[in-house]
Structure 1
């Protein structure tokens, strides 16, 4: 009897994860997928239980382990859907962008003059991160609006909203890029008084403006 209880321990963790992911999918009105996964998990459970109990003669422990394995198979299938869904792709893209920004600062320490490179890159990344925070706020607001309209079955409004938000983000990104091109050198003096660092930032201004423009569009997409 104790062995059977031990075999159910992995199932507890799977149940917790599966419960959370089911609630997320239900909130998104993705019900058919949940039904298919549950039916598939039930079939897998029947087959594995028959093999473990009647063919391999593992008894109660085998039945408990097959239940845990069936629950984890449902978790894996649901997680695969979330990984390959558009929302997960957007999240991965955002993570890569953040890692890219931090990686540039770290790699700057390997350049011939690491002190100047690190200082100049850090100041440029500060501008870029401020732009990202603003655009992420706009993206969150747009996501809530689009989600509400999808929930009330207004696809035309969603399409129009996406076009408006994308156009507005492009316009804001152009304004921010122009601001960087015009005032980047003068604003850098608020961070440092070292002439070599300011000169290095000046050489990076055009690249920073392009990054600000692209960085403003990416969160909306």
Structure 2
């Protein structure tokens, strides 16, 4: 490291935690509450990462904006109910190696960590609290305050929060929305293999990793090239 600040920005669902069970169940509950046929799992996972106001018209294209708003609220209510019933650790478990990778990066001199997620602030705060991750993230960017991914707004704000140049930042995520957002912001995109979009959809990623153990060494190599 050179003494310059560096920033690792993480997506959440499908990258740090596996929340597909609750995402699917909450989406099913929201649609059924309105008398609609729920979307299939692959369709639901395909929109993970988008803000809900963008995702619902994709999942229910024949419905109007009023219904989309009702589905958004129904999803939020169902998701929070499910998590309250089962607890964060069970409903959105960390992927193997995630906590260790966060600890490793957190211990690196001059490295800061952040989050850029399609979750709401309420949802992200509950997840961070539930997993005891409060110490890690200096910037938390959520859907409440930004256009949906892949718009680069969340990354730009994270860079400002951290006081880091885009050449000194990376975005780690599992979806095409994450990698397209990184490309739009001019930061290095690192795709992960264990999330909700297959590798064929991560074409905008500059690097790909198969496990969290590869992340620390990779970011050090990346930053050695821009020192």
- TM-score bracket, normalised by the shorter chain, equals under 0.3
TM-score (norm 2): 0.27
If asked which structure has higher relative contact order (CA below 8 Å, sep 6+), I would say 2
TM-score (norm 1): 0.28
Name the structure where strand makes up a greater proportion of residues. 2
Name the structure where helix makes up a greater proportion of residues. 1
Which structure: larger Rg? 1
